[in-house]
Amino acid sequence: MEEFRLSTLRSENTWFGCLVDSRDRLVASAFGPSSKIVQAHLISYSKQHLASSAVFGEYSLPREMARLHNGRTSSNPIRLNTDFVSDFQRRVYAVLEKIPKGRVTTYGSISKHLASAPRPVGGAVASNPWPLFVPCHRVVNFDLSVGNFSMCGSLGQSGTSTKRSLLEREGVHVRDDQIDRSAFWNPSGNKD
């Protein structure tokens, strides 16, 4: 039976957690205000998707996560375990990984690029198993307002505030909840 490992790290009042498989591929990540919330979320994810439960251990990925949270670029390529997401989600996440740091795109733009619709794109982005590693925080509303962001499964104003901070640390200029349109990035490339 395959063994999965979970580890957490605290950096500047935020807890980061990663769930990895036996080949060191990232199954899921999470971050939030307490280790309890982060661990509970990842354990819940593992119980829902994995046959065996996760064991705790030290691991380097949460450190990498903290760097990303700080607006830095990840030093090594991250291997993702995509076994537990749908084909449609994979297509959406492939687009997210192309959004340059310091830029944003919209649910509607992604949906046009994939010949889908905005709502399902929202659903896929919302269920991103790898926050920070796959930059779902770079997807905003059609009018370039910051929009929603959920942390460890909970949606609310603190999420939006966190999303805004992430974008600002990546160099996106936000004023009164509105993102400067120079930061817009079109996945279809017509107008980059």
Partner DNA sequence: TCGAATATATAAC
Partner DNA sequence: GTTATATATTCGA
- Binding of DNA by 50 (CB under 7 A): no
Does position 116 bind DNA by CB under 7 A?
yes
Q: Contact with DNA (CB under 7 A): which of 20, 37, 78, 124?
A: 124
Catalytic choice (136, 140, 152, 179): 136
Relative orientation angle of helices 118-126 and 87-96, to the nearest 10 degrees:
80
How many angstroms separate the CA atoms of 31 and 105, rounded? 22
CB of 128 to DNA, least distance (A): 6
Q: Any idea what the Cα angle at residue 174 is, between residues 168 and 179, rounded to 5°?
A: 115
CB-based contacts of 12, cutoff 8 Å, min separation 6: 66
Number of residues that bind DNA (CB under 7 A): 35
Kindly state the smallest distance separating residue 57's Cβ from DNA, in Å. Answer: 26
Over the range 62-74, which residues count as b (16 or more CB within 10 Å of their CB) and which as e? bebbbebbebeee
88 binds DNA (CB under 7 A): yes
List residues bridging with 169 in a β-sheet: none
Per-residue binding string, DNA, 136-165, x by CB under 7 A, is xx-x-xx----xxxx----x----------
- Closer to DNA by CB, 20 or 92: give it: 92
Name the nearest CA neighbour of 21 among 125, 130, 135: 130
- 106 near DNA (CB under 7 A): yes
Q: Is 93 in the site for DNA (CB under 7 A)?
A: no
Assigned token pair, 170: 């990546």
Tell me which residue has tokens 């107008």. Answer: 191
Q: Is 18 a catalytic residue?
A: no
Give the nearer residue to DNA in terms of CB position, either 72 or 119.
Answer: 119
Q: List residues with catalytic annotation.
A: 136
Can you give the binding site for DNA, defined by CB under 7 A?
Answer: 86-89, 106-109, 111, 114-128, 131, 136-137, 139, 141-142, 147-150, 155
